[in-house]
Amino acid sequence: MPQNMDISYILNQLGEERGDHYNAVAPPLVQTSNFAFNDVAHMRHSVNHEMDSHVYTRGNNPTVSILRQKLAALEGAEDCLVFASGAAAISAAVMSQVQAGDHVICVDKPYGWADKLLRQYLARFGVTHTFVDGREVDNFRKAIQPNTKVIYLESPNSITLELQDLKAVAALAKQHNITTIIDNTYCTSLLQQPIDLGIDLVLYSGTKYHAGHSDVVAGIVCGRKQVIEKMFNTEYMNIGAIISPLNAWLMIRSLRTLPLRLKASGEGAAKVVEFLANRPEVEQVIYPMHPSFPQYQLAQQQMQGASGILSILLKADSVAQIEKFTNSLDRFLIAVSWGGHESLVLPVSGLVYSIDELHPTLPWNLVRFYIGLEDPAVLIENIKHALETYRQ
């Protein structure tokens, strides 16, 4: 983040230009698809310089532009684009860096649709891939081929919370002229700054903490101006998976409270982790900032904190017991996604009909929690009750 731009300035002032909008405190919601030109010369210039003009909302929109300025500044990035979803952000970021014949190295167990993009989609267009256990930097080194163009990271991932050493992987990639991309959704730029560690492109599901109220789906890609400009003129405008002005406006509103929400969610999660770590029913608690975490040292080195997702391995004899445990958590909604105000629970066994379908390295007794903004004491009481009854 530039020295003169503190977070409070970014979230409350940057890009708002209130003098141009009746000094309204809330930003304008410019709900328009189209923009008219003063004359033909203006039109000619605008359509030939779309990134710096207002032509049509699939390109630029003033409400979206305010949001972009704030998100890029939060990241300490030169620029960013905001998409219709995190999945669109993943696709645009990866596709902007590859062509037929290229190779991508991807960390094991990334977000499911990143996995599918490589295995099912880009494979059809002659882009090959290698998945590696990202806990060892050497695994990336060994997977590099002459045609490797991208190393795709997600640290921590959002189920098993494994980390990659971002500084070391970025340095390795630079030696080989490989672009590094990270899904930084778990931390947000408030808890981890990948660009400072040498990563090229940072992406997010904005649906999670950025929007934060379980009412908007959005994605973000941040990076160098030149890369973002090329992405704007290609993946952004061509695929057209743009954020709507209304959703951009809602995200600006959400950003005002991002630091408060992230702090409350992370502190709540830490309390729940403390409780779970001392329970005999829990085989293992998985949380990057807990001393029992295998990569605790690395977490402390490259993250400023952990957020609201934690997982446990629950001692159980059957999927039915896991199911009973989950069903009795009435202060948690059983749901995918996360980052909103409400706490959630997701047993991985609930994603499949047979546990054989689970990724071979995904334990069947893993239960993921997202801790929202409720009183942690209430949540802990609820978990305690579920632990006391799920084996009865």
Contacting residues toward ligand PLP, per CB under 6 A? 85-87, 111, 158, 183, 185, 205, 207-208, 217, 219, 337
Shortest distance, position 85 Cβ to ligand PLP, whole Å: 3
Nearer to ligand PLP, 87 or 306 (CB): 87
Nearer to ligand PLP, 62 or 206 (CB): 206
C-alpha pair distances (Å), 224 with each of 172, 229, 306? 19, 9, 27
Strand duo 201-205 + 179-183: pairing: parallel
Nearer to ligand PLP, 184 or 382 (CB): 184
Nearest to 47 by CA among 237, 201, 312: 237
Q: Considering all CA atoms of the chain, what is the largest pairwise distance in Å, rounded to the nearest integer? A: 77
Shortest distance, position 162 Cβ to ligand PLP, whole Å: 12
Nearer to ligand PLP, 211 or 380 (CB): 211
Nearer to ligand PLP, 109 or 331 (CB): 109
Shortest distance, position 289 Cβ to ligand PLP, whole Å: 18
- What tokens does 280 get? 């005999």
Shortest distance, position 217 Cβ to ligand PLP, whole Å: 5
Report the alpha-carbon distance of residue 355 to residue 364 in Å, rounded.
Answer: 6
Nearest to 289 by CA among 280, 298, 278: 298
Shortest distance, position 350 Cβ to ligand PLP, whole Å: 17
- What tokens does 157 get? 């991932």
Shortest distance, position 209 Cβ to ligand PLP, whole Å: 10
Nearer to ligand PLP, 185 or 343 (CB): 185
For 9-133, strand residue ranges (E) read 79-83, 103-107, 128-132
- What tokens does 76 get? 């300490």
Shortest distance, position 265 Cβ to ligand PLP, whole Å: 14
Shortest distance, position 20 Cβ to ligand PLP, whole Å: 31
CB 334 within 8 A of CB 346: yes
- Residue at shortest CB range from ligand PLP: 86
Is the peptide bond preceding residue 27 cis, with omega within 30 degrees of 0? Answer: no
Nearer to ligand PLP, 87 or 169 (CB): 87
Report the alpha-carbon distance of residue 300 to residue 308 in Å, rounded.
Answer: 16
- What tokens does 247 get? 């959703």
Nearer to ligand PLP, 153 or 252 (CB): 153
- What tokens does 8 get? 């409070």
> Could you identify the residue written with the tokens 């039109």?
43
Report the alpha-carbon distance of residue 369 to residue 361 in Å, rounded.
Answer: 19
Kindly state the DSSP code that residue 365 receives in the 8-state scheme.
T
